[in-house]
Amino acid sequence: GEDVEQSLFLSVREGDSSVINCTYTDSSSTYLYWYKQEPGAGLQLLTYIFSNMDMKQDQRLTVLLNKKDKHLSLRIADTQTGDSAIYFCAEANAGNMLTFGGGTRLMVKP
Amino acid sequence: DADVTQTPRNRITKTGKRIMLECSQTKGHDRMYWYRQDPGLGLRLIYYSFDVKDINKGEISDGYSVSRQAQAKFSLSLESAIPNQTALYFCATSDGLAGGYYNEQFFGPGTRLTVL
């Protein structure tokens, strides 16, 4: 079955890098996503990576994918207080449906 | 204006009451979804619809029903609400015509439901 796991909390200081980790179990996953949820709002797509890629960089965001270990990470460089939110990883299965992890709450301290 | 809207945004109700949560979208997407969010459990899929005549159960459909009144509208009903249905509910849409398996979903702002 499908299972996506994330740690619940991460606390960093402003200006440091944040690394949020995710593990998944479905080896047939084609796309893997990172969504961001700010307080009182719905989820918004942050970035995604196709399963045949190892890395994707988009400004301050770097996504690393290790297919062998089924491990996905999101690195946020120069973390700002506005990055405080809950981050969800999600995998798309063969039926094109998303399975979400439990979310990691990122707290950025000034 | 928001592309995906949900009403109400907050609702407090009592055990046994019937509740309807509504979702509307202006994105022109065929696919619509209902999820519930509980702390630490992420989002779990309740029901989804790939077009007006298509309704499918998700992971946790027991105690819920849905209606796809039009391409733009997808409603979620709790026929007899119970306290463990207290949660944050999200509607989402996606474009069924997107190529391959790319399936970005666009989320509404959520409805916070409390069942006493």
**B contacts of A97 (beta carbons < 8 Å):** 45, 48, 103
The yes-or-no verdict on residue A65 having pLDDT over 90 is yes
Q: What per-residue confidence (pLDDT) applies to A98?
A: 87
B10, burial (CB in 10 Å: exposed 0-12, middle 13-18, buried 19+): exposed
Cβ atoms B113, B86 nearer than 8 A: yes
% of chain B residues with pLDDT over 70: 91
Q: What per-residue confidence (pLDDT) applies to A2?
A: 59
Rounded CA separation B56/B64 (Å):
12
Mean pLDDT for all residues in chain A = 91
Q: What mean pLDDT is predicted for residues B61-78?
A: 96
Count of C-beta atoms within a 10 Å radius of residue B94? 22
Per the CB < 8 Å rule, is A42 touching B110?
yes
Q: What per-residue confidence (pLDDT) applies to A97?
A: 81
The yes-or-no verdict on residue A61 having pLDDT over 70 is yes
- Indicate the residue of A4, A42, A98 with minimum beta-carbon distance to B103: A98
Condensed to tens digits (0 to 9), the pLDDT of residues A7-54 reads 899 999 999 999 999 999 877 777 899 999 998 888 999 999 988 889
Per the CB < 8 Å rule, is B42 touching A33?
no
HSE-CB for B77 with a 13 A CA cutoff: 9
